[in-house]
Amino acid sequence: MYIHIFVTMRIEDEIKQEKFSSEYTKLLINLVYTGNRISFKTNEILKEKNLTLQQYNVLRILRGQHPDPATVNMIIDRMLDKMSNASRIVDKLEIKKLAQRTMNKEDKRCADVLITSKGLALLNELDEKVKVSEKSVIHLTIKEVKTLNDLLDKLRG
Amino acid sequence: MYIHIFVTMRIEDEIKQEKFSSEYTKLLINLVYTGNRISFKTNEILKEKNLTLQQYNVLRILRGQHPDPATVNMIIDRMLDKMSNASRIVDKLEIKKLAQRTMNKEDKRCADVLITSKGLALLNELDEKVKVSEKSVIHLTIKEVKTLNDLLDKLRG
DNA sequence: ACATAATATATGTATATACATATATTTGTA
DNA sequence: TACAAATATATGTATATACATATATTATGT
């Protein structure tokens, strides 16, 4: 017989830190820690398909544009981690035939990046799995999720 | 004359995504994006001192134990990113003379890790700067920060 | 038109990271 | 006691990342 007890575990206990110098410091740590926790679960699903989280996100950006192409600059603009190297992520997607680069006719500096049908199919396959996993790892009511989203939006000012 | 207008910017607008498939998906992206945003600011401060965010966090874990030593295992347990390589982060801290390893007398497998006085001084120097920076980048009242912390704690279940 | 600045992307390089595996030591057990 | 399992840490290796710089193209000012 298994008994599951879900209790709210404070971040202090979770990472065994006595106390934080301020609620603000605690928030940063809480954000990063919680983000990592959820990402980790998603990552496990992506690993089966040989995708990194970054590649997955870029692929979703490309799908958002489809059937129009995106440019590398557009991808950088929409990526979660602005510092990372969009060009080389597109390289990886191209190698896997999930995306394709073509030269932009109007501006030869730009590379048009298009998701392939293989890319679309892969995302399609992943969508439901990822959604279910995310939902199962987030122990909140839909109302709380909305509050959280609003607070995070406000946080960034 | 400068006029600052702070408006709440939804994550949809921020990363220019039309809509999310669910509030849960939005939350994951919102968390990672917001965490990155705050980390980025902190990182800028740390860069001046030639520290990575990870090294900084480990250093703070060591200070939390001081004057007792920590072990590498203890560090892994308390790190935000469980996947990363605590042993090699300690390597880096040792090279910079910010921490020191000695062999544990009771259990020769364990490495006792102690923050040095140089390490303590560096943290001391950074504390205030980091706190001010974090506070300035988090556009929330203290009450909202607390709500956010509580929600994140609950999220993890 | 021409030089210069700005823009979009790619690439070189050092470092960091994830993951698998190796090594050393301790614990449990027959 | 001897031997397998567990534990703590370190290390090899492939890949990812950050940052600086290079290259190609387009926009701008005179």
Residue A8 has pLDDT above 80, yes or no: no
| CA-to-C1' span, A124 to D7 (A) | 42
Residue with tokens 């298009």: A114
Q: What is the mean pLDDT of residues A107-126?
A: 92
Provide the β-strand partners of residue A113. Answer: A70, A101
DSSP code for B115: E
Q: What is the mean pLDDT of residues A79-108?
A: 86
- Cβ partners under 8 Å of residue A44, min gap 6: none
Q: Could you tell me which chain B residue has the CA closest to the CA of A8?
A: B154
Chain B residues in contact with A145 (beta carbon < 8 A):
23-24, 27
Give the range among A5-9, A122-126, A139-143, B47-51 with minimum mean pLDDT. Answer: A5-9
Provide the β-strand partners of residue A97. Answer: none
* Residues 73-132 (A) with a CB less than 8 A from some CB of B: 77-83, 127, 130-131
A156–B17: do the CB atoms touch at under 8 Å? no
A148–B145: do the CB atoms touch at under 8 Å? no
Q: Could you tell me which chain B residue has the CA closest to the CA of A38?
A: B28
B145 HSE (CA, 13 A, CB side): 18
pLDDT of residue A20: 66
Using CB atoms, pick whichever of B24, B27, B34 lies closest to residue A156.
B34
Give A153 to chain B, closest Cα distance, Å: 5
Residue with tokens 């995306």: A99
Q: What's the ipTM? A: 0.79
Helix axes B53-65, B117-137, angle to 10 degrees: 120
Per-position pLDDT tens, chain B of length 157: 333 334 566 767 666 665 666 788 888 888 888 888 888 888 888 888 888 888 998 999 899 888 899 998 888 888 766 556 889 999 999 999 999 999 888 999 999 999 999 999 999 999 888 888 888 888 999 999 999 999 998 998 8
Interface contacts (A, B; CB < 8 Å): 186
* CB contact at 8 A, B55 and B92: yes
E strand or H helix that includes residue B1: none
For residue A8, which phi and psi values (nearest 5 degrees)? -75, 120
Q: What is the mean pLDDT of residues A86-106?
A: 91
Cβ of A43 near strand D (under 7 Å)? The reply is: no
Q: Mapped to the 3 state alphabet, what secondary structure does B60-106 carry?
A: HHHHHHCCCCEEHHHHHHHCCCCCCCHHHHHHHHHHCCCEEEEECCC
Of B68 and A6, more confident = B68
Cβ of B37 near strand D (under 7 Å)? The reply is: no
* Residues 19-78 (A) with a CB less than 8 A from some CB of B: 21-40, 42, 61, 64, 77-78
pLDDT of residue A2: 31
Cβ of A73 near strand C (under 7 Å)? The reply is: yes
Provide the β-strand partners of residue B115. Answer: B99
| CA-to-C1' span, B125 to D5 (A) | 47
pLDDT of residue B2: 32
pLDDT of residue A6: 42
Give A61 to chain B, closest Cα distance, Å: 8
The model's pTM: 0.82
pLDDT of residue A3: 33
E strand or H helix that includes residue A24: helix A23-48
B153–A9: do the CB atoms touch at under 8 Å? yes
- Cβ partners under 8 Å of residue A83, min gap 6: B40
* CB contact at 8 A, A18 and B29: no
Is A142 at the interface with chain B, CB within 8 A?
A: yes
Residue A83 has pLDDT above 60, yes or no: no
What is the C-alpha separation between B76 and A88, in angstroms, rounded? 31
